[in-house]
């Protein structure tokens, strides 16, 4: 995915755009570029550089581009073409009259490119985007205004795209189009913004307009006009952003990720707010699926990617235990390609922090085409996934800027627990007082998470002592197994070292061969309960310790049984097994963040990654 900004208003466009790109850099940082309409010269002025935004800023220097009040900008996550200066956006038409930035993939670009080249156009980049610049410029040169040109060109494009364009001969407007990629408009006082994410303009306005599928939007200083690709008048969805700039700033932390880890007590509390009565009955008014329909559900399939998938794995334990509804969890990228069995009584739960992930979106579309009901769990108000679902439970994590998901994950877990309990309530599979007890325990979680965070120095010390290891394993059982997977993912994506999570019971079936002297193994120890989980986990820990591993155990406060087998212990407050992931993952997040910091990596923008992946 990429980040896009557009601006028309009284300020210096370059400044507004570069500032907006800074807030969108989490979306991709392979290159950055800006183009403005130099009205005095009647030309487009632009600059673009491979690498992070800092490279572009350096190139712009003190003088920057000519003074201008209309412009566009882009920060890239490369799909077509290497991340170099030439492939960076904006791209210009043949006469450099039109400039375009693009997020997504134009699937039929090769055929369009060949046709253009046969007509004598010379395209200089390897990108799919450049064809759009040439097509738009040809249309305006033939007499269309930029809006009609955009409508016409989009009708010829296939794939997913947000396109934003300026025309040097039409200096007071920016025109954009949206299909399958995000785009929001910010409506200020005498100025208007376009961006992939409200973070880009939240400093200037919280008045936002979300664009729908296949819409074209024309912004001027005075406002906004929305049309369809067929040129028919249309409308966006107006909303007011309910968070402010401070939520999108680092607030004294070295990394957004670290700040977001420490925001988790608040994020979890916010995600519980207003979702149950004082006596612990669930009230999920936002679930727009009737109680009768929920009673008829005979199967749940959770679909998601990455960290959200691991939240889904925890959800399975809660859903099946509390509701007795069979629940499968599947990677969204695999789901629709295996001909899954779906009926109108299947509930598909799609989990996505960003609400933009293409794999998840395509899986949702497939599920709905098979008449299944889709409920989204999402953190991004107004994004595509909740819009295309039958119902949504929003997590209230606030903006998550660090590429590695942290508070997004914890609040997804909360939403999953709430959904499972709500289903149990509606279907009568748990008594009201049982549900109220779990809800009370959930309400205590923010203070427990805070307690774990208060011990962060001990985890940082672990990171310092294990910084030289090139391989780390993670073991868990039951709800602790997805925590092990998530701990390993955090370490892989941030520290770039070999890290793997295993179900502790599975270890002896093969992976135990990996154990060698001194290998660090994180062990998520389940709470001691009436079941056998704790004892079985203890056996697994003994097995790896006997083979020379260093055991780093996450265990509840007074778990003395673990002490003889643990080389290191991080203590967790006592909670029930199903809710323990909310606590156990926190030290693993802190460990990965600190280890990556010690290794000198960019924690917020790990190599090769982007915050949400809007291509399949």
Phi and psi, residue 549, nearest 5°: -70, 155
Interface with ligand M6R in residues 72-131 (CB under 6 A): none
Can you name the residues that pair with 405 across neighbouring β-strands?
none
Among 259, 373, 492, 611, the active-site one is 611
Encoded tokens for 239: 């909303």
> Is residue 406 a contact partner of residue 260, using CB atoms and an 8 Å limit?
yes
For residue 575, what are the contacts with CB-CB under 8 A and spacing of at least 6? 441, 444, 445, 448, 527, 556, 582, 583
Phi and psi, residue 154, nearest 5°: -60, -30
Residue 2 designated active-site: yes
Candidate list 354, 597, 605, 614; residue touching ligand M6R; CB under 6 A: 354
Residue 405 makes contact with ligand M6R by CB under 6 A = yes
Residue 523 designated active-site: no
- Give min distance, CB of 146 to ligand M6R, in A: 32
For residue 613, what are the contacts with CB-CB under 8 A and spacing of at least 6? 1, 305, 357, 358, 359
The single residue listed with the structure tokens 């061969």 is 513
Interface with ligand M6R in residues 287-316 (CB under 6 A): 305-308
- Give min distance, CB of 306 to ligand M6R, in A: 2
- Give min distance, CB of 309 to ligand M6R, in A: 7
Which of 131, 124, 125, 139 lies closest to 105, judged by CA? 131
Which of 487, 521, 486 lies closest to 504, judged by CA? 521
- Give min distance, CB of 524 to ligand M6R, in A: 18
Q: Which is nearer to ligand M6R, 176 or 304 (CB)?
A: 304
For residue 468, what are the contacts with CB-CB under 8 A and spacing of at least 6? none
Which of 311, 603, 571 lies closest to 454, judged by CA? 571
Candidate list 100, 318, 329, 404; residue touching ligand M6R; CB under 6 A: 404
Residue 384 makes contact with ligand M6R by CB under 6 A = no
Encoded tokens for 437: 């007890």
Site size toward ligand M6R, by CB under 6 A: 16
Residue 357 makes contact with ligand M6R by CB under 6 A = yes
Distances (CA, A) of 442 to 276, 392, 476: 11, 20, 22
Residue 348 makes contact with ligand M6R by CB under 6 A = no
Among 2, 154, 305, 593, the active-site one is 2
Number of other CB atoms surrounding residue 321 within 10 Å: 17
Residue 614 makes contact with ligand M6R by CB under 6 A = no
Cβ-proximal residue to ligand M6R, closest one: 306
- Give min distance, CB of 362 to ligand M6R, in A: 12
Can you name the residues that pair with 331 across neighbouring β-strands?
304
Q: Which is nearer to ligand M6R, 185 or 376 (CB)?
A: 376
Which of 315, 330, 387 lies closest to 355, judged by CA? 387
Q: Which is nearer to ligand M6R, 109 or 474 (CB)?
A: 474
Residue 493 makes contact with ligand M6R by CB under 6 A = yes
Candidate list 162, 181, 612, 614; residue touching ligand M6R; CB under 6 A: 612
Residue 395 makes contact with ligand M6R by CB under 6 A = no
Residue 180 makes contact with ligand M6R by CB under 6 A = no
Which of 103, 97, 82 lies closest to 133, judged by CA? 97
Encoded tokens for 533: 């989980």
Residue 581-610 contact track with ligand M6R, rule CB under 6 A, x = bound = ----------------------------x-
- Give min distance, CB of 495 to ligand M6R, in A: 13
- Give min distance, CB of 482 to ligand M6R, in A: 13
Q: Which is nearer to ligand M6R, 217 or 613 (CB)?
A: 613
Q: Which is nearer to ligand M6R, 180 or 577 (CB)?
A: 180
Q: How far apart are CA 479 and CA 476, in angstroms?
A: 8
Catalytic residues: 2, 611
Q: Provide the binding-site residues for ligand M6R, judged by CB under 6 A.
A: 305-308, 352-354, 357, 360, 403-405, 493, 609, 612-613
């Amino acid at each position: 995915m990429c980040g896009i900004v557009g601006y028309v208003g009284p300020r210096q466009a370059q400044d507004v755009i570069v500032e907006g790109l800074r807030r969108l850099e989490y979306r991709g940082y392979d290159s950055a570029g800006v183009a403005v309409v130099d009205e005095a010269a009647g030309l487009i002025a632009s600059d673009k550089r491979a690498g992070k935004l800092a490279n572009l800023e350096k190139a712009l220097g003190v003088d920057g581009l000519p003074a201008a009040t209309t412009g566009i900008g882009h920060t890239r996550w490369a799909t077509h073409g290497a991340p170099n200066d030439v492939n960076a956006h904006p791209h210009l038409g043949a006469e450099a009259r039109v400039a375009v930035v693009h997020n997504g993939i134009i699937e039929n670009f090769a055929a369009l490119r060949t046709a253009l080249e046969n007509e004598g156009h010379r395209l200089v980049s390897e990108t799919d985007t450049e064809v759009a610049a040439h097509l738009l410029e040809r249309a305006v040169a033939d007499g269309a205004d930029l809006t009609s040109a955009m409508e016409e060109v989009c009708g010829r494009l296939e794939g997913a795209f947000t396109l934003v364009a300026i025309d040097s001969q039409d200096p007071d407007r920016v025109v954009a189009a949206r299909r399958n990629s995000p785009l929001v408009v910010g409506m200020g006082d005498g100025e208007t913004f376009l961006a992939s994410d409200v973070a880009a303009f939240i400093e200037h306005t919280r008045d936002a307009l979300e664009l729908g599928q296949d819409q074209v939007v024309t912004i001027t200083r005075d406002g906004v006009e929305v049309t369809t690709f067929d040129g028919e008048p249309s409308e966006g969805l107006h909303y007011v952003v309910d968070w402010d700039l401070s939520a999108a700033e680092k607030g004294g932390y070295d990394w957004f990720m670290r700040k977001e880890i420490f925001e988790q007590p608040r994020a979890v509390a916010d995600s519980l707010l207003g979702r149950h009565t004082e006596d612990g009955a669930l009230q999920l008014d936002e679930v727009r699926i009737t109680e009768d329909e929920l009673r008829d559900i005979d199967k749940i399939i959770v679909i998601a990617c990455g960290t959200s998938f691991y939240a889904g794995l925890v959800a399975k334990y809660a859903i099946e235990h509390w509701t007795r509804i069979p629940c499968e969890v599947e990677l969204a990228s695999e789901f629709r390609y295996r001909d899954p069995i779906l009926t109108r009584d299947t509930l598909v739960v799609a989990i996505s922090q960003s609400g933009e992930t293409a794999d998840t979106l395509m899986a949702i579309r497939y599920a709905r085409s098979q008449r299944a009901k889709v409920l989204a769990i999402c953190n991004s108000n107004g994004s595509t996934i909740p819009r295309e679902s039958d119902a949504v439970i929003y997590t209230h994590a606030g903006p998550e800027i660090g590429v590695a998901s942290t508070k997004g994950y914890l609040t997804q877990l909360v939403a999953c627990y709430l959904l499972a309990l709500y289903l149990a309530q509606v279907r009568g599979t748990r008594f009201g007082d049982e549900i109220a007890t779990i809800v009370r325990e959930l309400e205590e979680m923010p203070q427990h998470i805070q307690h774990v965070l208060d011990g962060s120095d001990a985890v940082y010390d672990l990171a310092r002592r294990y910084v030289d290891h090139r391989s780390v394993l993670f073991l868990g059982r039951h709800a602790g197994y997805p925590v092990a997977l998530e701990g390993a993912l955090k370490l892989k994506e941030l520290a770039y070292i070999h890290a793997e999570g295993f179900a502790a019971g599975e270890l002896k079936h093969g992976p135990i061969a990996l154990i060698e002297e001194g290998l660090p193994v994180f062990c998520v120890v389940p709470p001691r309960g009436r079941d056998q989980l704790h004892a079985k986990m203890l056996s697994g820990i003994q097995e790896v310790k006997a083979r020379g591993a260093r055991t780093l155990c996450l265990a509840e406060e007074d778990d003395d049984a673990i002490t003889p087998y643990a080389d290191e212990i991080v203590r967790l407050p006592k909670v029930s097994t199903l809710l323990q992931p909310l606590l156990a993952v926190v030290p693993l997040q802190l460990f990965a963040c600190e280890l990556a910091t010690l290794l000198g990596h960019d924690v917020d923008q790990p190599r090769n990654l982007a915050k949400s992946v809007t291509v399949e």
